């Protein structure tokens, strides 16, 4: 065998090995992504069940149990954020709608100017998927709103649940965040999340007043029912949570929808 033939075989074998490895890596990546996406979806649904108080500890449920309870108890709806109306068209499917995909589509989302973006989300979708829980009579029991915003290191994705009066918080939870463990990561601490339950989002004049304060809430003040303790050592994460809650409850997001729901309740 000549030196030239030997070199050619070595190069061919190397290229073949690289090709095989590339295929294996690609197949593995696709397979893992599918599994990761499914796990993220499951974690999101568990958080919805938890924040709505439909189950006490969703972590003890199987995937099938989570899907079954969600299907039975939750009514998803697409909301047009600009008008606050429930979407009734045929172009979007509430079951398959994904706001992250919408954010990549100029027809379904817009860039937010910096001075209109306190939550630092950069783009806002035109439609959002909310979840309604009804009681035995068919009346609204709980409204679950998706929320997100930037903390210190990451965007926090979560859900805010409101009582039937649309003014009292039932719960807040985050299903995806990468804040510092032990500091900003305490947004996942049950003790901190428990503070949100029962807080009022509006004051007596109807102004949005919910707030994450620096330090601890002064319980002997009138503002206490609108306030939650900041997270110790995580000022920027606390500020991020405060900003995202106020953004999504405000006029640029779910404010019009909440107004419409309240008008409907007054008529009924």
Spans of the chain below 50 pLDDT: none
pLDDT score, position 265: 81
pLDDT score, position 4: 57
This prediction has a pTM of 0.86
C-alpha distance across the termini of the chain, in Å: 92
Residue range 124-182, pLDDT digits in tens: 999 999 999 999 888 999 999 999 999 999 999 999 999 999 999 999 999 999 999 99
pLDDT score, position 34: 66
pLDDT score, position 240: 97
pLDDT score, position 114: 94
pLDDT score, position 30: 56
């Amino acid at each position: 065998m000549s030196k030239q033939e030997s070199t050619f075989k070595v190069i061919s074998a190397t290229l073949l090995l690289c090709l095989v490895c590339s295929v294996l890596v690609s197949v593995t990546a696709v397979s893992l992504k599918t599994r990761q996406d499914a796990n993220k979806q499951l974690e999101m649904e568990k958080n919805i069940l938890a924040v709505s108080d439909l189950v006490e500890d969703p972590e003890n449920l199987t995937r099938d149990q989570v899907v079954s309870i969600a299907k039975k108890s939750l009514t998803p709806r697409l909301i047009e954020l600009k008008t606050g109306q429930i979407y009734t068209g045929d172009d979007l499917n509430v079951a398959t709608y994904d706001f992250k995909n919408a954010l990549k589509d100029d027809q379904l989302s817009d860039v937010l100017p910096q001075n209109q973006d306190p939550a630092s989300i950069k783009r806002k979708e035109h439609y959002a998927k909310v979840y309604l829980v009804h009681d035995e009579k068919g009346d609204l029991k709980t409204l679950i709103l998706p929320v997100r915003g930037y903390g210190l290191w990451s965007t926090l994705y979560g859900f805010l649940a409101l009582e039937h009066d649309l003014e009292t918080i039932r719960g807040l939870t985050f299903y995806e965040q990468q804040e510092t463990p032990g500091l900003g990561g305490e947004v996942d601490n049950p003790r901190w999340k428990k503070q949100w339950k029962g807080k009022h989002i509006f004051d007596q004049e109807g102004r949005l007043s919910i707030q994450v304060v620096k330090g601890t809430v002064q319980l002997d003040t009138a503002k206490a029912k609108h306030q939650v303790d900041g997270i110790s050592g995580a000022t920027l994460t606390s500020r991020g949570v405060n900003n995202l809650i106020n953004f999504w409850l405000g006029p640029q997001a779910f404010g019009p929808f909440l107004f419409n729901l309240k008008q409907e309740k007054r008529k009924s």
